[in-house]
Amino acid sequence: MARESESGFPIEPVYGPGGDDAGQGRLGEPGAYPFTRGVYPSMYTGRPWTMRQYAGFGTAAESNARYRELIEHGTTGLSVAFDLPTQMGYDSDAALAHGEVGKVGVAIDSIEDMRILFDGIPLDQVSTSMTINAPAALLLLLYQLVAEEQGVPGDRLTGTIQNDVLKEYIARGTYIFPPAPSLRLTADIFQYCRTALPKWNTISISGYHMAEAGASPAQEIAFTLADGIAYVRTALAAGMGVDDFAPRLSFFFVSRTTLLEEVAKFRAARRIWARVMREEFGARDPKSQMLRFHTQTAGVQLTAQQPEVNLVRVAVQGLAAVLGGTQSLHTNAFDEAIALPTATSARLALRTQQVLAYETDVTATVDPFAGSYAVEALTDAVEEAAVDLMRRVEDLGGAVAAIEQGFQKDEIERNAYRIAREQEAGERVVVGMNRFRIDAEEPYEPLRVDPAIEERQRDRLARLRAGRDRAGVGAALSALKKAAESEPGTANVLHPMKDALAARATLGEVCDALREVWGTYVPADAF
């Protein structure tokens, strides 16, 4: 049923060029190839996007309390942030973990931490996204084990693991293994989830971190889609059919304050991916051709100066994501340029999404910007630039070969330098930082993580190791190493990995077992 405007005029669910071909213009209809206008016919006219607030800090118990609070205030999906040791595959008592435990996310060392993290949260009723890459398989299996303890089978679990290690080599750096075994692990996850967790999104191919490192919108989607092509080729080489795994692929993009270009970027990305999947890989299932994506507002555009101005930035960025057709959204808290968000600022970030969903009329009609001269021209321009960059990646031998030659990293760094120079020269205005400054900032008390967390995690690990079956853990880790030594496609490492985690092997022990077999990645420019 059509909604009405404030003046009482009807707002149609879908608008088109008018006349006999209304809704059938060159862009096609929403929910139809090439999906320029959105991946679903009704988009937000049926229900809003998933409001997924990224959170996690300190201990599992502290993060659990934050998740419960977010759910109480209307979050419809959880998004877990892990600390750096967890992201790098180290236990909290490892020497390299010192000083970083619980700082930028929650510390997860074993199944015991995972139980606490989701205590009292029914895993068959929430969708959970986990921002984890190199050790993604471990965190996914720990989640499945906790769900099984709740009596929830794998076919009822919904959510996403980021599991995108290629962008780690390009822009972020939390890699563990070299590219070849990392891609093998990705293919094993695809195969495992097809039967064990069929509703789970097995990868979130991410441009967000490239954008945060300085990539332009065209670079962001070009290098992200090039990585996506590499993952598809890896799965096909492992013997999977494209329509067996492609419907569970998802993407993750940034949303900046440049609203028009961001809307155009999302539209262009959908169109390119649909064409690649149908024409290059022969995908026949429309779900394989859809580019479904999560969006996070641009952390790199937040300022520590006059942090309350970030409220305005986040609202504009969130609006751009919604107008661009995102499937889920995280809105940053206004104080994240200073520290981890407080409970109050995290709730306010969620309220920003709720205002967009329930107080504006952007959810009344599908694809409100379709037919805009400016947006359509920008969509074509972004698409052309992105396709050109993707062609250059292919000419270098594909995403992995281009990464090894430093192509994507060099391109992003050049763009980041250009942006920095423009900001320093005042040509690119940043309110409160290079223009409209004030002499004295109002005092602000950030959230601080208790440094004693590291000692408490060390104590928990000591008790865990003392109370478990040491021989059983050793046997399970040996079985994992044997599977990792096998040729790709002959043994799926997730099965012995799950056994090891169930036996209370720690995250660091499992990653160390794989490091022994696969080694660690050292970038070419590290020397």
Q: Which of 321, 369, 340 is CA-nearest to residue 447?
A: 340
Strands, E assignment, 65-208 = 77-81, 127-131, 158-161, 200-201, 203-206
H helices within 246-372, ranges in order?
A: 259-275, 286-289, 310-323, 343-358
Q: Which of 492, 504, 483, 399 is CA-nearest to residue 137?
A: 492
Q: Which of 224, 281, 274, 275 is CA-nearest to residue 253?
A: 224
DSSP SS3 for 288: helix
CA distance linking residue 105 with residue 100, whole number of Å: 9
CA distance linking residue 58 with residue 397, whole number of Å: 42
DSSP SS3 for 416: helix
H helices within 252-325, ranges in order?
A: 259-275, 286-289, 310-323
Query: Which residues share a beta bridge with 158?
Result: 127
- For 37-87, give the DSSP string: T-SSSSGGGTSPPEEEEEE--BSHHHHHHHHHHHHHTT--EEEEEB-HHHH
CA distance linking residue 364 with residue 386, whole number of Å: 31
For residue 293, give the amino acid letter.
F
DSSP SS3 for 346: helix
Q: Which residues of the chain have pLDDT under 50?
A: 19-25
CA distance linking residue 36 with residue 189, whole number of Å: 29
Q: What are the C-alpha distances in Å from 458 to residues 80, 107, 108?
A: 22, 11, 12
Contacts 24+ apart (CB under 8 A), 314-319: 314/349, 314/352, 315/352, 315/355, 315/356, 316/257, 316/259, 317/255, 317/256, 317/257, 317/262, 318/255, 318/352, 318/353, 318/356, 319/259, 319/356, 319/360, 319/362
Side-chain-facing half-sphere of 490: CA atoms under 13 Å: 7
pLDDT value of position 21: 41
Contacts 24+ apart (CB under 8 A), 438-444: 438/306, 441/305, 441/306, 444/307, 444/335, 444/338
CA distance linking residue 37 with residue 225, whole number of Å: 18
Q: Which of 136, 75, 101 is CA-nearest to residue 349?
A: 75
Side-chain-facing half-sphere of 305: CA atoms under 13 Å: 12
CA distance linking residue 183 with residue 165, whole number of Å: 8
Q: Which two tokens stand for residue 384?
A: 């052309």
The helix or strand, by DSSP H or E, that contains position 424, with its residue range, turns out to be helix 407-424
pLDDT value of position 396: 98
Taken in order 90, 93, 97, 101, is the CA torsion positive or negative? positive
Q: What are the C-alpha distances in Å from 55 to residues 122, 391, 495?
A: 18, 37, 29
Does domain 43-424 fall under CATH 3.40.50.2300? My reply is no
pLDDT value of position 17: 80
Are β-strands 50-55 and 328-330 bridged in parallel, bridged antiparallel, or unpaired? parallel
For residue 385, give the amino acid letter.
A
Gyration radius of the chain over CA positions? 23
Are β-strands 10-11 and 127-131 bridged in parallel, bridged antiparallel, or unpaired? unpaired
pTM of the predicted model, to two decimals?
0.92
Q: How far is Cα of residue 234 from the mean position of the Cα atoms in its chain? A: 20
CA distance linking residue 313 with residue 456, whole number of Å: 38
